[in-house]
Amino acid sequence: MISSRRAIAVAIAAMTTIFSPATANAQDTNTAAPKAPPVATLPSPTTPVSTQNSPSTASSAAAAPGPVAVSAPVPPNTPNPAPAGQPAVHSEVVSADRVPGTGAPPTEAKPAIQDKVTMPKWLDNVTLAGGLILYYYQPLGLPSAENNNNLSIFFANLLLDGKWDIFGFHMEPRFRDTKLRPFFDGPVWLQEAYASIDLGKSAQLRIGKTYSHLGLFWDNSFYGNVQVYDGLKLDPDYGLSLEGALGKKDDPASLGYWVQYFVVDGSTNVSLEGRDTISIPGARRRNQAILRLEPRFRFGPASLALGGSAEFLQAADLPAPYGTENVGRFAGDAKLMIGSFGLWGEFTFQDGRTVSDFPVVGAAATATTPAGPGASSAHVDYALAGAEYTLGPVTARYNVSTGYYTDVNIHEWMQVPAIGVAISPNLSILGEFVLWQSYSATGSSILDRSLNVTLSAHL
């Protein structure tokens, strides 16, 4: 991670060198050195989604998520020739009686260099980082209309953090060539942006846009799970989050907690269109409250975390005949780590409707058939499980997730085996095979079957 103070100091020193006027020749004090043009400012590059279906990582490729390289200054243009009858800048006027090879050598004018750049003291506590994810999607045996591969920058991001005594802030803008989802406002968005206040040594209050914490935060994959495509995970919203821990990380027993209230959804999770309230025109998630408790235990090289979460929200202004629906969610989860081996699982129950036309999508009327109404489920059971093992730079992982929409008797399953390689501390590659299927009383269908390869870099 690059210190903002150092990055800005280097840029200003370079600009100072370029903008400093050259010393005029001693024998032509009336001729001013031409000014160099302004230095061009170059753009700076940057941690659970296919071009059709895949999500963002938690960076944060997830998430995470790496610093920005400082752009080199562009050299000034070559000075224009001096007017006729006047010596050129940086040249020496030679007298007629001077004998070649004798006397002092000509002295070139040198740019004035500022010895020291004084930066504001508050920049000492600001850091800048960034990264990007290069994403290759290769469908395998899907219908021909959906069988096109693709290569793109899934997103690039910047991470800006500051800390002054008990006060701090965090901001993560993300950007790409096109909208990540059709319901996004554009190709650039704020993933997180909040101010924070430390309350004692182990608690923090965040105010702004930050992630909700229902159940396990993430399963370490890139492509994701059924839950993330329904808007339950990697979901940043606007409001307050009080989070912290009782006890220390290495204590035999400790307790993590999150108490969150979100006035309104953040409108930028990676749910697919129609599967979460935020993508329905005119509808929003409002008054979302979450309580999560996470007891943690350590036994030598092993650690165990058990989680319990409860959530209430309102899916406001859904299309008729639903209107505003009250929704409750309850989740239980566990994660076991023994050295380089990890194992996790989660179950979530939802009571209440958050969408109107999923998992049965309504059909528009045609010249020969009437319109077909869509249908949603007010009761949904979600589950996920996964395991991974790391040996040196290589990690093998398997995740499976499911969603059962009980009111309409539709069941989705997603399997994601993966192999990842850490090429360096700042560069990694991940390959995932995805099989996503849907089952109903009338048959089954394949939602996605693909190879997904990501190259993640951060600084």
Task: Assess whether pLDDT exceeds 70 at residue 3.
Answer: no
DSSP 82: P
Predicted local distance difference test score (pLDDT) of residue 114: 59
CA trace torsion 19, 23, 29, 33 (10° rounding): -30
Strand segments (E) across 165-301: 167-175, 188-198, 203-211, 236-246, 253-265, 284-299
- Within 8 A by CB and 6+ apart from 310, the residues are 290, 291, 292, 328, 329, 330, 331
Predicted local distance difference test score (pLDDT) of residue 364: 78
Rounded-to-integer distance, Cα 198 and Cα 363, Å:
51
pTM of the model: 0.75
Q: 120-124, 147-151, 230-234: lowest mean pLDDT where?
A: 120-124
Predicted local distance difference test score (pLDDT) of residue 124: 87
Q: pLDDT confidence of 106, banded at 50, 70, 90?
A: low
Q: pLDDT confidence of 73, banded at 50, 70, 90?
A: very low
Q: Among residues 74, 90, 93, 82, which one has the least CA distance to residue 36?
A: 74
The HSE-up count of residue 424 (CA atoms within 13 Å, CB side) is 6
Predicted local distance difference test score (pLDDT) of residue 363: 80
Q: Among residues 261, 245, 343, 338, which one has the least CA distance to residue 295?
A: 245
Predicted local distance difference test score (pLDDT) of residue 203: 97
Report yes or no: 169 and 196 within 8 Å, Cβ to Cβ.
Answer: yes
Task: Assess whether pLDDT exceeds 80 at residue 149.
Answer: yes
Task: Assess whether pLDDT exceeds 90 at residue 40.
Answer: no
Task: Assess whether pLDDT exceeds 70 at residue 32.
Answer: no
Task: Assess whether pLDDT exceeds 50 at residue 187.
Answer: yes
Give me the phi and psi of 124, to 5 degrees please.
-60, -25
Q: What is the pLDDT of residues 360-394, one digit of tens each?
A: 998 877 878 887 788 999 999 999 999 999 999 99
Better-scored residue on pLDDT, 279 or 147: 279
Better-scored residue on pLDDT, 63 or 419: 419
Residues paired with 129 in a beta bridge: 159
Task: Assess whether pLDDT exceeds 60 at residue 74.
Answer: no
CATH of the domain at 442: 2.40.160.10
Task: Assess whether pLDDT exceeds 60 at residue 146.
Answer: yes
Give me the phi and psi of 278, to 5 degrees please.
-65, -20
150 assigned to some structural domain = yes
- Within 8 A by CB and 6+ apart from 414, the residues are 225, 226, 399, 400, 401, 402, 434, 435, 436, 437
Give me the phi and psi of 203, to 5 degrees please.
-140, 150
Give me the phi and psi of 144, to 5 degrees please.
-55, -30
Q: Among residues 283, 292, 274, 297, which one has the least CA distance to residue 330?
A: 292
Task: Assess whether pLDDT exceeds 60 at residue 87.
Answer: no
Rounded-to-integer distance, Cα 118 and Cα 343, Å:
51
Task: Assess whether pLDDT exceeds 50 at residue 148.
Answer: yes
Percentages (nearest 5) of helix, strand, coil residues in the chain: 5, 50, 45
Report yes or no: 419 and 396 within 8 Å, Cβ to Cβ.
Answer: yes
Region at 323 (left for phi over 0; alpha for psi -120 to 50; beta for the rest): left
SS3 122: helix
295 assigned to some structural domain = yes
Domain count, the chain: 1
The pair of structure tokens assigned to 165 is 């005594």
47 assigned to some structural domain = yes
Better-scored residue on pLDDT, 206 or 113: 206
Predicted local distance difference test score (pLDDT) of residue 202: 92
249 assigned to some structural domain = yes
What mean pLDDT is reported for the chain? Answer: 82
296 assigned to some structural domain = yes
CA trace torsion 6, 7, 11, 12 (10° rounding): -40
Q: What is the pLDDT of residues 310-343, one digit of tens each?
A: 999 999 999 999 999 999 999 999 999 999 999 9
Average pLDDT over residues 35-50: 38
Q: What is the pLDDT of residues 223-271, one digit of tens each?
A: 999 999 999 999 999 999 999 999 998 899 999 999 999 999 999 999 9
Rounded-to-integer distance, Cα 130 and Cα 24, Å:
43
- Range of 110's domain? 2-82+106-458
Give me the phi and psi of 408, to 5 degrees please.
-115, 5
Task: Assess whether pLDDT exceeds 60 at residue 8.
Answer: no
Rounded-to-integer distance, Cα 207 and Cα 260, Å:
10
Average pLDDT over residues 166-180: 97
92 assigned to some structural domain = no
Q: What is the pLDDT of residues 192-236, one digit of tens each?
A: 999 999 999 899 999 999 999 999 999 999 999 999 999 999 999
The pair of structure tokens assigned to 385 is 């499980």
